[in-house]
Structure 1
């Protein structure tokens, strides 16, 4: 499951803390921990493979706002192909070196791979990937490390 974090939420937390501060004559102090924005995943096509029983082809666009970073995750038993449509993305599969991919470049992830790093390297420009999954029909396509 993809989660989107918002700077607006951080601002609301800071505003609430300021409003709840006692009238002591001192300026309220709010501690806000910001996290980088997350990617969003927009499904394009999901189709059972007619010649491979129990397998499904799924394609999606992964949008990475400036400075966005995905949480470490796995794709279960899915085979994954990622193609950079726009921008520059830094990626690392556990046990492999960090690699940087630019527009027109691609990579694959074997089933069960632990994707420990995926981030947009730009702080000002978005990045976009075409992602293709070949998975067991009905399987969850992304499992964040935070959720098992």
Structure 2
């Protein structure tokens, strides 16, 4: 019986506290509080560090380019294409979620790789971790002079 009364007393105290917390304050009642604006910052993006760019001596008009792509935690690349380049990507560190147009989403872990055919639309590339960076080695075989990344964002 004592336990029931004690629990009932706790319930009454909790109800009073809840009604006080939910009651409008003078500031709210007079609309003097500034409105709260929700700010959502875009995720960070990847950074590229070129390693080597060299014309292929045995294939006229083609260039070999290698680069390291760093993805900070939660970084995401904008949807893009790599022109007419053939692309090879190898995960050096972390996990990267990727999707090419017309294909399912895949997660690639350290030591895994993928290729992109010329003209492929890369609609998703992101670091899956909220705390750890990810890093790729990316190799392009492209037409000499072509841009290696063309964003598909509306202009």
Q: Distance in 2 between matches of 1:40 and 1:80?
A: 17
Instruction: Please give the residue correspondences for 1:87-106 in structure 2 after superposition, counting only pairs within 5 Å.
Output: 87-106=94-113
- Structure 1 residue 34, shift from structure 2 partner: 1.2
Q: Quick check: 1:70 aligned with 2:77?
A: yes
Q: Distance in 2 between matches of 1:30 and 1:98?
A: 34
- Structure 1 residue 146, shift from structure 2 partner: 1.5
Structure 1 or 2: larger helix share? Answer: 2
> Greater Rg, structure 1 or structure 2?
2
Query: TM (normalized to structure 2)?
Result: 0.76
Q: Distance in 1 between matches of 2:37 and 2:96?
A: 33
Unaligned runs of 5+ in 2: 1-30
Deviations 1:65-96 (A, max 9, x none): 00111111000000000000000001111001
Q: Distance in 1 between matches of 2:39 and 2:60?
A: 50
Q: Distance in 2 between matches of 1:65 and 1:27?
A: 34
Q: Distance in 1 between matches of 2:130 and 2:38?
A: 23
2:62 maps to what in 1? 55
Query: TM (normalized to structure 1)?
Result: 0.80
Unaligned runs of 5+ in 1: 1-23
Q: Distance in 2 between matches of 1:93 and 1:115?
A: 5
Q: Quick check: 1:107 aligned with 2:114?
A: yes
Q: Distance in 2 between matches of 1:109 and 1:26?
A: 53
Q: CA RMSD for the aligned pairs?
A: 1.5
Q: Distance in 2 between matches of 1:145 and 1:77?
A: 15
Q: Distance in 2 between matches of 1:33 and 1:102?
A: 28
- Structure 1 residue 29, shift from structure 2 partner: 3.8
Cα gap change, 1:145 to 1:138, in 2 (>3 Å):
same
